[in-house]
């Protein structure tokens, strides 16, 4: 009788110990599909990176990770949608430098507030920009580009996506720090500008490596320099602008944020799993082929500190190039 009671008690304890764990696992985040909002169109540099990561995260979580592209309005459409989404751990925003940092410095009014509407989740990758020319161009180096721009003020054309975009600000800062007088030509998108570059309608183009890496590696364009403070992994043969302009650092980046009020459990799990994914050599190498450089295991707190530092840095840059909010 005693032996039967002991056996029953052990079984009961074992069952009691198993039940809470099973319940916790069944209700652990995510227990439904996760949406990742982007402000860029399908096929863009950020979209390519986000899709790669979403596929791997979906396998890990056992839940679909849906990419929701909402381009337009200088990132405002996608950012506003993400900011107004339910803070229940099902919607996250795959954000760029423009959406979180430069937009508040360039526009007097926005339909969202990056600092109040979002909370940090994880850093993803740095996205260097580059100055490119058409393959057959006689311009072989940044020194050639600057010399020609100075010799023929206003004649050398430097394409970009407009004065209030990342590439446009890089172009203005380049003009300012080199005393070059390139004619800054604005385009509605990188794709349109690149087509004009390859068609020899402009002399050079400022664009992100994520959007132009494939064409450059195919030999259809030549990268003169990157905008990062150091040479970019995978592009070691290409000098950085900081080599001729010390301190030049105009690198875009991707970070994941969530609507303010999102449960910490969802944020921490997303951060942990994304960090581990970015640390995977194969994943990092695949991202590098697209242009960006992955940075793994950046904590939630570190991501928040980075965003605050970037706001301070970019405030100084916009003052240097004379851009005021409109």
- SS3 letters across 2-50: HHHHHHHHHHHHHHHHHHHHHHHHHHCCCCCCEEEEECCCCCCHHHHHH
Half-sphere exposure of residue 237: CA atoms within 13 angstroms, side-chain side: 4
pLDDT recorded at residue 324: 81
More confident residue, 313 or 21: 313
Which residues have C-beta within 8 Å of that of residue 173, sequence separation ≥ 6? 248, 250, 317, 320, 321
Residue 120: strand pairing partners: 257
Whether 19 has a pLDDT exceeding 60, the answer reads no
How many residues are there in the chain? Answer: 326
The reply to whether 129-243 shares the fold of 33-126+251-320 is yes
What is the average per-residue pLDDT within 38-67? 95
pLDDT recorded at residue 125: 96
Residues 79 and 96: their CA atoms lie apart, in Å, by 10
How would residue 138 be classed by pLDDT, with cut points 50, 70 and 90? very high
Q: What is the pLDDT of residues 61-101, one digit of tens each?
A: 999 999 999 998 889 999 999 999 999 999 999 999 999 99
CB 212 within 8 A of CB 220: no
Alpha helices in the chain (DSSP H): 2-27, 45-61, 76-84, 97, 103-106, 114-117, 142-151, 166-178, 190-198, 209-217, 264-279, 281-290, 300-320
pLDDT recorded at residue 22: 38
Residue 127: strand pairing partners: 252
- Mean pLDDT, the chain, rounded, equals 90
* Residue ranges per structural domain of the chain: 33-126+251-320, 129-243
Angle 218-240-293 from CA coordinates, rounded to 5°: 65
Q: How far is CA 315 from the centre of its chain?
A: 19
| 129-243: CATH architecture | 3-Layer(aba) Sandwich (3.40)
Q: What is the pLDDT of residues 218-258, one digit of tens each?
A: 999 999 999 999 998 888 999 999 999 998 999 999 999 99
Which residues have C-beta within 8 Å of that of residue 246, sequence separation ≥ 6? none
CB 267 within 8 A of CB 113: no
How would residue 27 be classed by pLDDT, with cut points 50, 70 and 90? low
Q: What is the pLDDT of residues 189-227, one digit of tens each?
A: 888 999 999 999 999 999 988 888 889 999 999 999 999
- DSSP of 106-151, one letter per residue? H-S--SS-HHHHEEEEEEEEEE-EEEEEETT-S--SHHHHHHHHHH
Residues 109 and 45: their CA atoms lie apart, in Å, by 27
Q: Residues 174, 178, 179, 180: is their CA dihedral positive or negative? A: negative
Q: What is the pTM of this model?
A: 0.82
How would residue 323 be classed by pLDDT, with cut points 50, 70 and 90? confident
Residues 167 and 171: their CA atoms lie apart, in Å, by 6
Give the percent of the chain with pLDDT over 90. 77
| 33-126+251-320: CATH architecture | 3-Layer(aba) Sandwich (3.40)
How would residue 291 be classed by pLDDT, with cut points 50, 70 and 90? confident
DSSP assigned state of 175:
H
**Per-residue b/e over 54-75, b at no fewer than 16 CB within 10 Å?**
bebbbeebebebebebbeeebb
């Amino acid at each position: 009788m005693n032996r039967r009671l002991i056996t029953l008690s052990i079984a009961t304890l074992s069952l009691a110990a198993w039940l809470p764990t099973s319940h916790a696992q069944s209700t652990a985040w995510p227990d439904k599909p996760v949406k990742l909002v982007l402000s860029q169109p399908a096929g863009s540099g950020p979209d390519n990176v986000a899709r790669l990561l979403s596929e791997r995260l979906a396998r890990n979580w056992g839940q679909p990770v849906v990419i929701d592209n909402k381009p337009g309005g200088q990132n405002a459409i996608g950012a506003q949608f993400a900011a107004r989404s339910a803070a229940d751990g099902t919607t996250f925003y795959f954000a760029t430098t423009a959406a979180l940092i430069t937009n508040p410095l360039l526009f007097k009014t926005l339909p969202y507030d990056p600092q109040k509407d979002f909370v940090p989740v994880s850093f993803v990758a740095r996205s260097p920009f580059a100055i490119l020319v058409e393959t057959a161009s006689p311009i072989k180096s940044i020194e050639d580009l600057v010399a020609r721009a100075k010799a023929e003020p206003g004649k050398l054309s430097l394409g970009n996506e407009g004065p209030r975009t990342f590439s446009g600000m890089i172009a203005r800062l380049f003009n300012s720090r080199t005393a070059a007088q390139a004619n800054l030509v604005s385009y509605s998108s990188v794709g349109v500008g690149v087509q004009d570059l390859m068609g020899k309608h402009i002399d050079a183009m400022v664009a992100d490596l994520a959007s132009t890496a494939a064409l450059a590696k195919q030999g259809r364009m030549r990268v003169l320099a990157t905008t990062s403070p150091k040479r970019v992994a995978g592009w070691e043969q290409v000098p950085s602008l900081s080599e001729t302009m010390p301190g030049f650092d105009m690198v875009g980046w991707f970070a994941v944020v969530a609507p303010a009020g999102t449960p910490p459990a969802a944020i921490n799990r997303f951060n942990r799993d994304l960090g581990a994914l970015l640390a995977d050599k194969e994943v990092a190498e695949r991202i590098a082929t697209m242009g960006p450089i992955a940075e793994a295991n950046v904590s939630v707190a570190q991501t928040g500190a980075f965003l605050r530092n970037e706001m301070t840095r970019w405030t100084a840059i916009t003052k240097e190039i004379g851009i005021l909010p409109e």
